[in-house]
Amino acid sequence: MAQLRDYIELTKPKQTFLLLLTSIFAYLTNISSISIVNAVHLIASMLLSISGTTAMNMALEADIDSLMRRTSSRPIPQGRLTPSEGLIFGIVLFLSGLSVSLLINIYVAVAVMLGLISDIFLYTLWLKRRNPMSIVLGGIAGGAPALAGWAASSGRIDLQGVLMALTVMLWIPAHIWYIAIYYKEDYELAGIPMLPVAYGVERTVKTIIAALSLLTAVELAMFVMKMFGFVFLILSLPFTLFLLYKSVVYLRDLSKEGARKMYKMASPLIGIIFIAMFIDNLVKTFLSSL
């Protein structure tokens, strides 16, 4: 049982759940074309491929995880699982998820492959240990589940799918860089040049503010281009602007404890935005049926 718990920990359940949520709600924004079979295939494909990618990431990062307070208690640094056990587990899960994605359509499989390439090859193996802006390309992995959900219901990868993925990517700087400010010493110890380590806290917060400003612009663009309506705008814009405002206020603080609060405040935003997309489409579909 302890081993099963360790294997589950390799999949980062909380992160995987929220990533799955973005995929499901991206899928449901095409309410007129959903099918139970496709929805089940999407959920299975995302759970398997996201968990697999995350387990591969943990197996490949066991060395730096053992150097960081936040991650040193994980199964592989603690020797409860070996890196090769973690890698094989991740590869099997991922390939299973990719196979299921092909049951839906080729575009979902493309999004799954984008997630793997971005998370493992661009971020984990190449950029994270070398480049302070690693999460920009690593962020494509974060947007991949939303792209997969849209592709599963629309049958294509188009501008709307790309903008929905971009929405996640522009939230990621607030998500990870507030964590990185809080754990700055950890990343320094492990030699990981996260933005706060390389350019300091103030520069990092200003970059987060720029990303949240772009996120606001993308939300407005999706409204102007009639991809989503007023319901989406009034449910997501205020929360985005609130996090933007609190980030500007945090510029005068820059404390570690303040960073932890900002990280916790950032987490729900991406869920709120994708639920807003779903509710907007639900209301639009209901009104058009009257």
Ligand X SMILES: CC(C)=CCC/C(C)=C/CC/C(C)=C/COP(=O)(O)OP(=O)(O)O
Q: Does 141 bind ligand X (CB under 6 A)?
A: yes
DSSP percent split of the chain into helix, strand, coil, nearest 5: 80, 0, 20
Closest by alpha carbon to 30, among 269, 216, 237, 228? Answer: 228
Of residues 14-43, those binding ligand HEM (CB under 6 A): 14-15, 18-19, 22
Site for ligand X in 148-187 (CB under 6 A): 148
Burial of 39 (0-12, 13-18, 19+ CB in 10 A): middle
Whole-angstrom Cα distance, residue 84 to residue 200?
Answer: 36
CB of 172 to ligand X, least distance (A): 8
Q: According to the binding rule CB under 6 A, does residue 19 interact with ligand X?
A: yes
* 270 binding ligand HEM? (CB under 6 A): yes
Q: Which two tokens stand for residue 277?
A: 């997309």
Which position has the token pair 């920990």? 9
Question: Is 97 or 139 the residue whose CB approaches ligand HEM more closely?
Answer: 139
Q: What phi, psi does 77 have (nearest 5°)?
A: -60, -30
- Maximum pairwise Cα distance, the chain: 61
**CB of 213 or CB of 267, closer to ligand HEM:** 267
Task: Establish if 266 lies at the interface with ligand X (CB under 6 A).
Answer: no
Binding residues for ligand HEM, per CB under 6 A? 14-15, 18-19, 22, 70-71, 135, 138-139, 141-142, 168, 172, 175-176, 179, 267, 270
Binding residues for ligand X, per CB under 6 A? 19, 49-50, 53-54, 57, 61, 71, 112, 115-116, 119, 123, 138, 141-142, 144-145, 148
